[in-house]
């Protein structure tokens, strides 16, 4: 075996060892950092307040959307309980969005005062009825209010083909804005090229 | 004869009362002539709606009114345009009323002043927003927008340029604070405004550091001065390729 070949062979061994080491460290680091717990549990953000699912029910993956630190919407993988009723799946998604992200680096979009009254699905439109007390009327500026609306819309529209558009209601009524800045009067599909998500 | 005389006295009295009421309400007594530039400044929130409340107790509604008053003074003194505030004191005023005031008095510019809030102390600085294009035919089966909403369409390009001028001026004056950018957003009721319109958030009230700064006269004055510079530049240079 020539010198050059020997050097190449030992280089290959060292590179492989280094790669295995990096993989092992990554595995243990990510395993030992559990995702941050959900900001608020589901029964706190659901106004009717009754338990929705038994813990033993089968679960399915969903993608939720929250703003990242750069204020662009980012997907987060979560789970909901499997249900044959579409409105039931969508209700769980909204509850998770209201509860806040489960991972670091994502921002909570609704403050503690906001809860879900109900979710309805009718001919492709999801009606999301939020309970927003008067005191929580303006907890935010225009950009965060926009991101809150977009989080709900994106989480419902992107993961569920039966959803074409989202209509957000406040305290059971159609309103111009949720917190005084962003227009929510019409059911809106996600339109391409929209800012911040 | 006596009846006719009495009815003309009555109409005269009604006109005087209407004029007096308009004066009390703070709006211009009559629509401005077309050649006159009318600038509408809109301090966000007011009355029961405090807007954001900082950790130290400063309210968005109070800071916005203060900034708008400073800005009005600068425009009145240095540009000589007619400048009106949608609200002159701490009062409730619906978003629709704000838009109607500016439209009915032939406003040439509308600057809505607000502050921002974020769920995290890391965010500070300046954000300026202009009305996003709202698609008229957004999905099958949806009706086209009524005229009230379409008014901004003719001015969207100008709104974007105005936003750029104001954002640039604020960034030049406050280069060390964060930049929350300039974005088109579906702002209510800006889509209904028949004039270039922007919403300015010159600071983040949820940031403890920024709240402290907002308590300073010098900082508030510098913010008003920067917004003034943006407006002045827009009025002087207009939209690139167009007569201002
Ligand atoms: Zn505001």
ipTM at complex level: 0.80
In whole angstroms, how large is the CA radius of gyration of chain A? 22
Question: Which among A141, A164, A177 has the least Cβ separation from residue B115?
Answer: A141
pTM: 0.79
CA of A164 from ligand 1 middle (Å) equals 30
Residue pLDDT, tens place only, B32-50 = 444 578 999 999 999 999 9
Considering only the beta carbons, identify the residue of B138, B185, B189 that sits closest to A191.
Answer: B138
Q: Which uninterrupted H or E stretch holds B200?
A: strand B197-201
CATH of the domain at B179: 3.40.630.40
Nearest CB among B52, B117, B138 relative to A188 is that of: B138
- Interface list for A 50-109 with B (CB within 8 A): 69, 71, 107-109
Contacts of A99 (CB under 8 A, 6+ apart): A38, A39, A40, A41, A42, A44, A45
Contact (Cβ atoms closer than 8 angstroms) between residue B195 and residue B102? yes
In a domain, B1, yes or no: no
B124 domain residue, yes or no? yes
Determine, yes or no, domain membership for B3: no
Binning chain A into helix, strand and coil, the percentages to the nearest 5 are: 35, 25, 40
Q: Is residue B140 part of a domain?
A: no
Domain carrying residue B175? 33-133+146-237
Domain ranges (residues) in chain A: 1-32, 36-189
pLDDT digits (tens, 9 = 90+) for A35-47: 344 456 766 777 7
Q: How far is the CA of B113 from the centre of ligand 1 (A)?
A: 8
Domain total in chain B: 1
The answer to whether residue B83 is domain-embedded is yes
Q: What is the pLDDT along chain A (197 residues), one digit of tens a residue?
A: 567 777 788 888 887 787 777 766 655 544 444 334 445 676 677 777 655 666 777 899 999 999 999 999 999 999 998 888 898 899 999 999 999 999 999 999 998 889 999 999 999 899 999 999 876 555 789 999 999 999 999 999 988 989 988 999 999 999 999 999 999 987 666 544 344 44
Instruction: Name the β-bridge partners of B185.
Output: B131
Could you give the angle at the alpha carbon of B45 between the alpha carbons of A46 and B61, nearest 5°? 110
Asked, for residue B43, whether it belongs to a domain, the answer is yes
Chain B residue with Cα closest to A144: B118
Residue ranges in chain B whose pLDDT is less than 70: 1-35, 134-149, 238-244
In a domain, B244, yes or no: no
Q: Which of the 8 DSSP states describes residue A162?
A: T
């Amino acid at each position: 075996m020539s010198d050059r070949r020997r050097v190449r062979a030992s280089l290959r061994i060292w590179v492989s060892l280094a790669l295995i080491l990096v993989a092992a460290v990554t595995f243990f680091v990510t395993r030992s950092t559990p995702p941050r717990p959900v900001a608020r549990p589901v029964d706190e953000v659901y106004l009717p307040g009754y338990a929705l699912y038994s813990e033993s029910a089968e679960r399915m993956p969903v993608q939720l959307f929250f703003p990242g630190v750069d204020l662009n919407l980012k997907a987060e993988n979560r789970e909901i309980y499997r249900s044959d009723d579409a409105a039931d799946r969508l209700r769980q998604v909204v509850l998770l969005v209201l509860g806040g992200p489960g991972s670091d680096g994502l921002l909570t979009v609704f403050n503690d005062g906001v809860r879900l009254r109900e979710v309805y699905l009718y001919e492709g439109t999801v009606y999301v009825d939020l309970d927003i007390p008067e005191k929580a009327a303006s907890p935010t500026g225009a950009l965060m209010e926009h991101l809150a609306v977009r989080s709900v819309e994106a989480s419902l529209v992107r993961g569920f083909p039966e959803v074409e558009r989202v209509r957000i209601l406040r305290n059971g009524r159609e309103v111009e804005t949720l917190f005084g800045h962003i227009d929510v009067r019409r059911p809106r599909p996600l339109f391409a090229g929209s800012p911040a998500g | 004869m006596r009846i006719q005389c009495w009815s003309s006295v009555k109409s005269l009295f009604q006109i005087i009362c209407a004029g007096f009421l308009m004066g009390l309400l703070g709006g211009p007594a009559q629509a401005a002539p077309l050649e006159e530039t009318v600038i509408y400044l809109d301090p966000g929130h007011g009355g029961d709606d405090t807007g954001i409340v900082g950790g130290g107790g400063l309210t968005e509604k109070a800071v916005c009114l203060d900034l708008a008053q400073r800005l009005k003074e600068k425009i009145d003194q240095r540009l000589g345009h007619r400048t009106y505030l949608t609200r002159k004191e701490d009062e409730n005023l619906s978003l629709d009323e704000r838009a109607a005031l500016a439209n009915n008095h032939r406003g040439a510019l509308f600057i809505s002043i607000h502050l921002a809030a974020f769920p995290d102390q890391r965010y500070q600085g300046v954000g300026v927003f202009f009305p996003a294009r709202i698609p008229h035919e957004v999905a099958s089966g949806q009706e086209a927008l009524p005229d009230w909403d379409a008014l901004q369409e003719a001015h969207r390009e100008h709104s974007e340029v105005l936003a750029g001028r104001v954002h640039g001026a604020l960034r030049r004056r406050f280069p060390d604070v964060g930049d929350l950018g300039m974005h088109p957003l579906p702002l209510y009721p800006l889509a209904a405004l028949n004039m270039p319109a922007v919403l300015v958030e010159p600071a983040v009230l949820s940031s403890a550091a920024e709240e402290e700064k907002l308590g300073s006269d010098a900082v508030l004055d510098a913010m008003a001065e920067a917004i003034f510079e943006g407006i002045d530049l827009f009025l002087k240079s207009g939209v690139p390729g167009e007569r201002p």
